[in-house]
Amino acid sequence: MRALRVLICAIGILVALQLEAQVVFRESASVSNIMNRFLAYNVDHSQIPGWKIQIISTTDRREMDEARSRFVSYFPGIPITWKHVAPNYQVRVGSYRTKPELMSQMQEIRRRFPMSSPVIDMIDKGDLIDYD
């Protein structure tokens, strides 16, 4: 009789555990639609408006390459990009959401690149620097 009670209790516990492990989420079609649109938007929009520091703007390609090399040697962890906006080559560094975030870093960069200036630019979400 005792063995039967133990067996029934064991079966009851196993059934309860199995029921507990089965979680089903049911979301409305509107929630699914919004989530799918959100995911599609974020895949398509990997860049957002933000700030960068422009360390040089020059017509001389060699001068631009030299500035890029110097920057990478002084600040290896900061993202760097360059672009040719005829007739100038521009080197921009960092990725910041706001100008105040940029200003703390800019003081250090200006010691090596005195002509540095803040510029509004499109920044890659993956390059955002978190200084919190």
CATH topology of domain 48-127: Alpha-Beta Plaits (3.30.70)
CB contact at 8 A, 90 and 63 = no
**What pLDDT is recorded for position 1?**
73
Q: Is 106 exposed, middle or buried (0-12, 13-18, 19+ CB in 10 A)?
A: buried
Question: What residues does CATH 3.30.70.1070 cover in the chain?
Answer: 48-127
Residues in contact with 91: Cβ distance below 8 Å, sequence separation at least 6, in sequence order: 54, 55, 56, 57, 64, 67, 68, 71, 80, 81, 82
What is the tally of helices (H) and strands (E) in the chain? Answer: 4, 4
3-state secondary structure of 120: strand
pLDDT, tens digit only, all 132 positions of the chain: 777 777 777 677 766 666 555 667 787 888 777 877 777 766 666 788 999 999 999 999 999 999 999 999 999 989 999 999 999 999 999 999 999 999 989 999 999 999 999 999 998 887 775 554
Radius of gyration of the chain (CA): 28
Distances (CA, A) of 89 to 28, 71, 74, 124: 52, 15, 20, 20
3-state secondary structure of 61: helix
Name the token pair of 61. 């390609």
Cα 88 to Cα 61: distance, rounded to the nearest angstrom? 9
